[in-house]
Amino acid sequence: MNKVILLNNRPVGKPALSDFSFTTDSIPVPPVGHILLKSIYVSVDPYLRGRMNDSKSYIPSFEIGKPIQSGIIAEVIDSTHSEFKKGDFVSGILEWKEYQVSNGKGLKKVDQNLSSLSSYLGILGMTGLTAYMGLIEIGAPKAGETIVVSGAAGAVGSIVGQIGKISGCTVVGITGTDEKAELLKSKFKFDYAVNYKTSTDLNRAVKKACPEGVDVYFDNVGGEISDAVLANINKFARLPVCGAISHYNDTKIPVGPRLQPILLTKSAMMKGFIVGDYSAKFPEATKQLSIWLKEGKLTHEETIVYGFENIPQAFIDLFDGKNKGKMIVKI
């Protein structure tokens, strides 16, 4: 039998296991020119929360009663496709199913001799590209500057900080546990780490960590953490807005300090982006990330959860900060 995970209903607030349902169908037989795929690694990502809402966005909503989709590494186990053969591994946006048929569109072959299969969902996949594009294209870091990154111990944040160090900057990370703060300094070589959950005055904590002010703020979370960083930006600061996870489960429109006077008086630039905006530059960015990885200038962390049935819980756990680095489910 083939296990499948469906969206059971649209979450209100933080997602719950009851928002997902399990079903089974038979293992499909691929028509001529198609491939049969077996899921190996499934990526769970904060952005999937937005797709569970019934609202217009940059990517279509999931439909109730239909399979959820995310980045998946799968093995080709049967093929009559001209470009994919049995035993190949591919990466693509696929359904939360153990087995599925594809016509090959949107799939990319991945080579486990060059890097681990799971790395193609993280550092050499969407989150690595997000870190690279957002920091290099919008943050435009210059040696000697100070970069602050929130969500720092996660998939995107941990790579942003390391690229910041490669760029010759002082790097400060904001994260939710002392253990993660330690990891930022020991493994990822951040200069300073702030635990936003234990800090009683975040504005002061950021000021202390950044005595010369903040030149680049890579924002993964929004909310009060970002308010505190914005209060400390320098003239001509750049603020790539990558994510706003602190708002993804909001049921009311959040309010906070008005940003215009800060941006105006600091001649600062805040710019939202979706990684796909930069798809033309993905080959060059992937090449650079691979080189840094091979040279040991970049490292990465993964939190691997085991078992197809644990995909929904792994997704929910992102909102409780249970992951270090990329959260991935191994089937």
Ligand X SMILES: NC(=O)c1ccc[n+]([C@@H]2O[C@H](COP(=O)([O-])OP(=O)(O)OC[C@H]3O[C@@H](n4cnc5c(N)ncnc54)[C@H](OP(=O)(O)O)[C@@H]3O)[C@@H](O)[C@H]2O)c1
Residue closer to ligand X by CB (options 84, 217) is: 217
**Which residue, 266, 308, 318, 322, is CA-closest to 72?**
308
Report whether 134 contacts 147 (CB < 8 A): no
What is the rounded CA–CA span in Å between residue 298 and residue 113?
18
Among residues 22, 282, 308, 319, which is the contact residue for ligand X, using CB under 6 A? 319
- Residues 257-276 binding ligand X (CB under 6 A) are 273-275
Among residues 183, 237, 242, 328, which is the contact residue for ligand X, using CB under 6 A? 242
Q: How far is the CB of 151 from ligand X (least distance, A)?
A: 4
Cα three-residue angle 291-133-219, rounded to 5 degrees: 125
Q: How far is the CB of 255 from ligand X (least distance, A)?
A: 16
Question: CB neighbours of 137 closer than 8 A, spacing ≥ 6?
Answer: 240, 273, 278, 281
Cβ-based neighbour number of residue 124 at 10 Å = 21
The verdict on 312 binding ligand X (CB under 6 A) reads no
- Residues 32-61 binding ligand X (CB under 6 A) are 45-47
**What is 107-175 written as a DSSP string?**
-EEE-TTTS-GGGGGTTTSHHHHHHHHIIIIII---TT-EEEEESTTBHHHHHHHHHHHHTT-EEEEEE
Residue closer to ligand X by CB (options 37, 221) is: 221
Residue closer to ligand X by CB (options 37, 245) is: 245
The 211-240 site mask, x for binding ligand X (CB under 6 A), equals: ---------xx---x---------------
Phi, psi of 167 (to 5 degrees): -80, 0
Q: How far is the CB of 83 from ligand X (least distance, A)?
A: 28
The verdict on 243 binding ligand X (CB under 6 A) reads yes
Strand partners, 238: 216, 269
- Residues 282-311 binding ligand X (CB under 6 A) are none
Q: How far is the CB of 321 from ligand X (least distance, A)?
A: 2
The 153-192 site mask, x for binding ligand X (CB under 6 A), equals: xxxxx-----------------xxx--x------------
Report whether 286 contacts 129 (CB < 8 A): yes
Report whether 118 contacts 302 (CB < 8 A): yes
CA 254, 255, 256, 257 dihedral sign is positive
Residue closer to ligand X by CB (options 97, 326) is: 326
Q: How far is the CB of 30 from ligand X (least distance, A)?
A: 31
Query: Stretches 63-71, 164-172, 242-250, 287-295: which one binds ligand X (CB under 6 A)?
Result: 242-250
Q: How far is the CB of 179 from ligand X (least distance, A)?
A: 9
Q: How far is the CB of 24 from ligand X (least distance, A)?
A: 29
CA-based max dimension of the chain? 64
The verdict on 15 binding ligand X (CB under 6 A) reads no
Report the length, in residues, of the chain. Answer: 331
The verdict on 151 binding ligand X (CB under 6 A) reads yes
How far is C-alpha 170 from the geometric centre of its chain's CA atoms? 23
Q: Are strands 108-110 and 146-150 parallel, antiparallel or unpaired?
A: unpaired
Q: Are strands 69-79 and 89-95 parallel, antiparallel or unpaired?
A: antiparallel
Residue closer to ligand X by CB (options 35, 152) is: 152
Residue closer to ligand X by CB (options 57, 80) is: 57
Q: How far is the CB of 81 from ligand X (least distance, A)?
A: 29
Interaction site with ligand X (CB under 6 A): 45-47, 127, 130, 151, 153-157, 175-177, 180, 220-221, 225, 242-246, 273-275, 318-319, 321, 323, 327
